[in-house]
Amino acid sequence: MNSAEFIKYITNPLTKEEMQLLYKANNVNYDKCRLYSDFILTLNKLVTETFLGVDVIHTAEDIKSHFSWCIDKVIKNFKEENIIFDNTEDLKEYFFNFYMELFYKNNDKDGALEKLNKLAIFSFDHLRIKTRSDMDVLLELYRLFEKSLNFKLKT
């Protein structure tokens, strides 16, 4: 891809028809988009609200431990609502890398929650017009969530 194609890829909006075709071709379910968005927003809030500061959480082990506690808690909370996420290794790895770059390594924590929430809003808001790049992020995240989602009925 040359630079002109790349600029087009990240800036040119898709039409509503193109977006609908991509949703349909990839079996994207709007209710699941809301669920996955809720998962991300919940995780964002927990990570930012329980972060004790760089003076407490500063080593790689501290960061990994904090993140693991947060995502495991979110998974447990969803499980209590009978929404079961199994096989979460890839999902955890994706979000750990996401938080490392946008939160843990970022010295400016002001406005962090708003910045982190953009992933959920930009990706899973099916009414928002997306670029091809945005759609690729949505599809990648959607597939990660689909791989780990396992509905089980309580008896």
This prediction has a pTM of 0.89
Sequence letter at residue 69 = W
Q: What is the pLDDT of residues 27-83, one digit of tens each?
A: 999 999 999 999 999 999 999 999 887 778 878 999 999 999 999 999 999 999 999
Rounded CA Rg of the chain: 17
Tokens 């990839």 appear where? 26
3-state secondary structure of 67: helix
3-state secondary structure of 7: helix
All structural domains of the chain with their residue ranges: 33-151
Q: What is the pLDDT of residues 90-121, one digit of tens each?
A: 999 999 999 999 998 888 777 888 888 998 98
N-term to C-term CA, the chain: 53
